[in-house]
Chain A
Amino acid sequence: AQSVSQHNHHVILSEAASLELGCNYSYGGTVNLFWYVQYPGQHLQLLLKYFSGDPLVKGIKGFEAEFIKSKFSFNLRKPSVQWSDTAEYFCAGKADAGGTSYGKLTFGQGTILTVHP
């Protein structure tokens, strides 16, 4: 079965620290991968996505993620976090099957990031 796993439930950092959130997936075939962010009391917003091509993906707000096929990983990184990055982060994936699969995402459990000023 397809699955997405996030190993860190809660990460606490100080401002300016570097961030790496882990995400692993299990899919057969070609996979599309995403990172979403949910700020307190808000809906999910897309940070970045990987469909094909360059495995290093740049997203909004200085975030990036690297697709490593051999490790089935798609970790999210940011070199220097800010207090405003405090949020919950979700990794998600889907099989690259087009059509009705567009939004049929499998989400990880989420990682809460708390950044202290």
Chain B
Amino acid sequence: DAGITQSPRHKVTETGTPVTLRCHQTENHRYMYWYRQDPGHGLRLIHYSYGVKDTDKGEVSDGYSVSRSKTEDFLLTLESATSSQTSVYFCATAGTGDNSPLHFGNGTRLTVT
């Protein structure tokens, strides 16, 4: 595995509060991704990064922002949490190379009440 640590593992927060999830990797992978997993939807890409300070939107980016100030850290922020953002969030990384697979972290279960 790519040494991916997500924190926190579980969080309960109230509607309207900001929340930041952290992804830390030790493999020096260039690419990092945030996905959310919801029943019946599989995984959907929120944001991704292709280098320090280089990020872009994914399929379901509304209400989320990201930052990557160091290669090893990729932060996902819910600017004002809503109940629809209750989900399991997975961070993933990939190295360069055409055959580089995705490596996933263990996920963060977020509940917005």
Contact = CB atoms under 8 A, between A and B. Distances in A.
A68 interface: no
B interface bracket (residues with beta carbon within 8 Å of A):
20 to 34
Nearest to B42: A107
A44 B35 CA distance: 11
Contact of B43 (A51, A90, A98): A90
A109 interface: yes
A43 B104 contact: yes
Contact of B56 (A4, A34, A100): A100
Contacts, number: 61
Contact of B41 (A9, A104, A109): A109
Contacts of A90: 42-43
Contact of B98 (A43, A46, A51, A100): A51
Most buried by B among A4, A46, A98, A100: A100
Contact of A103 (B99, B102, B105, B106): B102
Interface stretch (B12-20, B77-85, B89-97): B89-97
Contacts of A9: 40
Contacts of A108: 42
Nearest to B56: A100
A98 B50 CA distance: 12
A44 B104 contact: yes
B48 A103 contact: yes
B101 A46 contact: yes
Interface in A1-38: 4, 6, 9, 34
A72 interface: no
Given A4-B42, A90-B42, 19 more contacts: A43-B90, A44-B90, A49-B99, A51-B99, A90-B43, A99-B50, A100-B31, A102-B100, A103-B33, A103-B94, A103-B102, A104-B33, A104-B45, A104-B58, A105-B43, A105-B45, A106-B45, A107-B43, A110-B42
Interface of A: 4, 6, 9, 34, 42-46, 49, 51, 90, 92, 98-100, 102-110
